[in-house]
Amino acid sequence: MNSSLTSTQKRVISTITDLANKKGRSPSMEELRVALDLSSISSVQRHTDALKNKGYLDNIRGISFPKPAGKVQIPLVGNVACGIPFLATENIEAYIPYDASQIRGVASDYFFLRAVGDSMNNANVCGKTIDDGDFVLIKKQQTANPGSRVVALIGDEATIKKMIPENGHVRLQPESTNLCNKPILVFEDFSIQGVVENVIKKMQ
């Protein structure tokens, strides 16, 4: 595939990849200009536009980034409650192959958790519910938009819920067909570990 690229275009892709690995995000056009020792951002734009036309770059949130190919190995780091929170294990149990083209940023920003319970069995994540035993793909981040489905850490216990900020507290809302599942109101000692991106259904 690289045979269709000029030596300069190969250098641009290599530089973008190196910067992304170092910074944990896609580089800005200015960062790319400096790293490539080019005189102007328009010069960078010319190279990235050519690479997009050849299918080697995607445009992610307005920033050019190489299209990944094949599969990446995302770690499964344990269980998370979709009911009453309980201790989340952080030991890697296994790796799950995942389509590299479906991730935003770098693979190290992601991990899987195994869902336990039924409090999110009425959620709609990419057209799928979160049922007991499913594998939930999480993107690591410490903030989330209202209404996002998050991994919330309450003390040493973790749970997946829909996050709804309210006056003076946060409501962690279940999305369930089971009416026994109730919201959790959090006033303190609460942090976000990541945001739900996708679900891999368990094999029946």
Which residues are identified as catalytic? 119, 161
Burial of 14 (0-12, 13-18, 19+ CB in 10 A): exposed
Q: Are 83 and 160 in contact (CB under 8 A)?
A: no
Q: What is the DSSP string of 19-56?
A: HHHHHTSPPPHHHHHHHHT-S-HHHHHHHHHHHHHTTS
How many CB atoms are closer than 10 A to CB 44? Answer: 24
Q: How far apart are CA 88 and CA 126, in angstroms?
A: 24
